[in-house]
Amino acid sequence: MEEKILKISHTHTGIFIERSNRFLSHVKIDGKTEKVHVHDPGRLKELLYEGNRVLLKKVDSSKRKTKWDLLAAFYKNTPVFINSMYHSRIAREIITKNLIPFLGNYDNLRSEVKLNHSRIDFLIEKSNKKIWVEVKGCTLCENGVALFPDAPTKRGARHINSLLEVKDKLNEICLLILIFRSDAKIFSPNEKTDPLFSETFKKAVKNGLKVFPLLLEYDGMWIKFLREIPLKKI
């Protein structure tokens, strides 16, 4: 099943030069070097390297330090979406379109809900039950295995621990993994890069965390939902 989820049109194609810091990169656009905002905390080393093609969106705002947003980078001639600013909107579309039956047909859907020491992406209320939903984006894939995270994330482990604290008969907990690598066949936590997150993830799964690894595709205009892929046996 392939379904269009969210329209995010790129306006320009550029050639990546370097990543100056976590949020800033330099890209050659129409022969000129421009400062471009990177909205993704990952390392993205297999995507953001000198000479690689990238897709960009021009943003006209006097409040911005840069006029450009990085949307995607190419991997083997396929654009990989790397802008985490849109993750919540993508996940909301997936939920509201009932593409995950477990989360569908709800009575109420709330965003950015405070839970203990964290803010969780969504709270779904239905049939006297609450479903807490956290969303993560995944762009790393090795030999068909989608891996998260690609850089250590204490925040990610904290979110999962916050979910575990409320798990009971009236509170379900879920993790949506938005996987933007169409070559992925299966999902696994990245034990090599972040042992803490991986152990927290495994503990949570054994204690009721429902994980939905969702395969998505970006064509330069649309984010498309492809299918759910399996979770590697833990």
Instruction: Check: CB of residue 135 under 8 Å from CB of residue 122.
Output: yes
Instruction: Check: CB of residue 88 under 8 Å from CB of residue 96.
Output: no
- pLDDT at residue number 55: 98
Instruction: Check: CB of residue 190 under 8 Å from CB of residue 179.
Output: no
Select from 81, 104, 131 the last residue of a domain.
81
Could you tell me how far CA 64 lies from the centroid of its own chain?
A: 23
Residue 233 within any structural domain of the chain: no
Going by pLDDT thresholds of 50, 70 and 90, the confidence category of residue 201 is: very high
Residue 209 within any structural domain of the chain: yes
DSSP H helices in the chain: 87-96, 154-166, 195-206
* Same domain? 130 vs 222: yes
Task: CATH number of the domain at 131, please.
Answer: 3.40.1350.60
Residue 113 within any structural domain of the chain: yes
* Same domain? 108 vs 217: yes
Q: How far apart are CA 87 and CA 138, in angstroms?
A: 10
Among the listed residues 10, 18, 46, the one whose alpha carbon sits nearest the alpha carbon of residue 34: 18
Q: What percent of the chain has pLDDT over 90?
A: 91
For residue range 158-170, list pLDDT tens digits in order.
999 999 999 998 9
Q: How far apart are CA 149 and CA 95, in angstroms?
A: 23
* Same domain? 220 vs 118: yes
Residue 102 within any structural domain of the chain: yes
Q: Is the pLDDT of residue 1 over 80?
A: no
Residue 32 within any structural domain of the chain: yes
Select from 23, 55, 81 the last residue of a domain.
81
Handedness of CA 60, 62, 68, 71 (dihedral sign): negative
Number of domains in the chain: 2
Q: Is the pLDDT of residue 92 over 90?
A: yes
Going by pLDDT thresholds of 50, 70 and 90, the confidence category of residue 152 is: very high
Helix (H, G, I), strand (E, B) or coil at 192: coil
Q: What is the pTM of this model?
A: 0.95
* Same domain? 110 vs 223: yes
Residue 234 within any structural domain of the chain: no
* Same domain? 129 vs 65: no
Q: What percent of the chain has pLDDT over 70?
A: 100
- pLDDT at residue number 36: 97
* Same domain? 133 vs 218: yes
Range of the domain at 55: 9-81
Residue 13 within any structural domain of the chain: yes
For residue range 95-110, list pLDDT tens digits in order.
999 999 999 889 999 9
Residue 154 within any structural domain of the chain: yes
- pLDDT at residue number 63: 80
Instruction: Check: CB of residue 81 under 8 Å from CB of residue 218.
Output: yes
Task: CATH number of the domain at 70, please.
Answer: 2.40.50.580
- pLDDT at residue number 169: 86
For residue range 52-77, list pLDDT tens digits in order.
999 999 998 778 889 999 999 999 99
Select from 38, 62, 81 the last residue of a domain.
81
Q: Is the pLDDT of residue 145 over 80?
A: yes
